[in-house]
Amino acid sequence: MHVLIVGGGVTGLACAHAIAERGGEVTVCEAGTLGGGSTGRAAGGIRTQFSTRVNVELSLASIPVWESFDDEFGVSIDYRRPGYLFLARTDETAAAFHDNVEMQNDAGAPSRLIDPEEAREYVPELRADEFVAATYSPADGIADPHSAVQGFADAVRSEGGDIRTKTPVADLTRDGDRWLVETPDETLEADAVVNAAGAWANQIAALADIDLPIAPRRRQIAVVEPEGDLPEDAPLTIDLDTGSYFRPEREETAIVGGHFSESDPDVDPDRFDESMDVDWAVEATERADDCAAYFGPETRIRNGWAGLYAVTPDHHAILDEVEPGFVVAAGFSGHGFQHAPATGEAVADMCLDEDACEVDVSALSLDRFESGETLTEQNVA
């Protein structure tokens, strides 16, 4: 069984590793450099606090890989667990927190509902009076996406996989039971194709006359020097009702971010502004200050960047064999890095006709958008 994977980000490489580890023949075609797309601009968050069970289970199935990554892959991903703290300003959001934690606990995640004063144990300068409830999980954390790409790529090569960079896929055609994949150098044959192209996934699908409801959306991150002393072990803190978030970074800096508009236009993934908007960074810092008193007027904006989310209408991935031998693993809406290990196992099952993945991903099928059985992710960040 020869599987060709389009996309050399962390998702594509995790899929390649899972398939190669089970004895499949793998070729990865990456148009640019490994991790040069969305992976290279990801914040690296890993969390179990989602509002749908499938996302929680994808995280829980992936975390053991992140925990053992340094030993298993021989590459340090700097995995650490300061936790995630979600904050609610409204009673409606607080009620959703209650339901979410109950579901998360039932799935096996150790999250818990706490009051805002208790949340100050994790973020001492939290403006607790602004909030009505919070959730916290010590299982949540952060890792380095760049190092994860290196580790997966090394493992794929050690298993005999073929990784080709600067190799865009120009066309996809079905020839009987096989796929013909046209690249600038040659036309490759494969038993199955995996579309793990992230923000470019719709372009790749279109080559096979498949339409995917995946839109590239620009997202930004700013690195700042806080006015106050943000503890190094503070959790990644998300003000869910405003969309603002922050977390400590190295050398007494912090990352601030947030998505403040529901009407962002789609962007061309080949032509978008990769730099940070200063006005946006000022707003993101001010919103962080509304949440916790670390980001006052003396906060200095050091630098930042913009990357792409591959977003579906319901903010959940498409993880499905949408046609015989054509598997889609894209549209993670900002959650692709953290779910990559479990995604790899699910994709390997689809390609090799096996049943080893512990997560039921049937809710992530493409046809949910036609049937109306879409999902609702409240903890979008």
Q: SS3 sequence, the chain?
A: CEEEEECCCHHHHHHHHHHHHCCCEEEEECCCCCCCCCHHHCCCEECCCCCCHHHHHHHHHHHHHHHHHHHHHCCCCCCECCCEEEEECCHHHHHHHHHHHHHHHHHCCCCEEECHHHHCCCCCCECHHHCCEEEEECCCEECCHHHHHHHHHHHHHHCCCEEECCCCCCEEEEECCEEEEECCCCEEEECEEEECCHHHHHHHHHHCCCCCCCEEEEEEEEEEECCCCCCCCCCEEEECCCCEEEEECCCCCEEEEECCCCCCCCCECCECCCCCCHHHHHHHHHHHHHHECCCCCCCEEEEEEEEEEEECCCCCCEEEEEECCEEEEECCCCCHHHHHHHHHHHHHHHHHCCCCCCCCCHHHCCCHHHHCCCCCCCCCC
CATH topology of domain 2-65+144-212+313-371: FAD/NAD(P)-binding domain (3.50.50)
Do 337 and 42 form a contact (C-beta atoms < 8 A)?
yes
Q: SS3 sequence, 320-368?
A: EEEECCEEEEECCCCCHHHHHHHHHHHHHHHHHCCCCCCCCCHHHCCCH
Task: Count CA within 13 A, CB hemisphere, residue 57.
Answer: 16
pTM above 0.75, yes or no: yes
Amino acid at the residue 202: N
* 175 φ, ψ (degrees, to nearest 5): -130, 90
Q: Do domains 2-65+144-212+313-371 and 84-138+215-311 have the same CATH topology?
A: no
Do 202 and 11 form a contact (C-beta atoms < 8 A)?
no
Do 216 and 226 form a contact (C-beta atoms < 8 A)?
no
Question: Which sequence spans correspond to the domains of the chain?
Answer: 2-65+144-212+313-371, 84-138+215-311
Between CA 176 and CA 288 the distance in angstroms is 56
pLDDT score, position 373: 80
* 254 φ, ψ (degrees, to nearest 5): -140, 155
Query: Which pLDDT tens digits describe the chain residue by residue (381 residues)?
Result: 999 999 999 999 999 999 999 999 999 999 999 999 988 889 899 999 999 999 999 999 999 999 999 999 999 999 999 999 999 999 999 999 999 999 999 999 999 999 999 999 999 999 999 999 999 999 999 999 999 999 999 999 999 999 999 999 999 999 999 999 999 999 999 999 999 999 999 999 999 999 999 999 999 999 999 999 999 999 999 999 999 999 999 889 999 999 876 556 678 999 999 999 999 999 999 999 999 999 999 999 999 999 999 999 999 999 999 999 999 999 999 999 999 999 999 999 999 999 999 999 999 999 999 988 887 776 555
CATH topology of domain 84-138+215-311: D-Amino Acid Oxidase; Chain A, domain 2 (3.30.9)
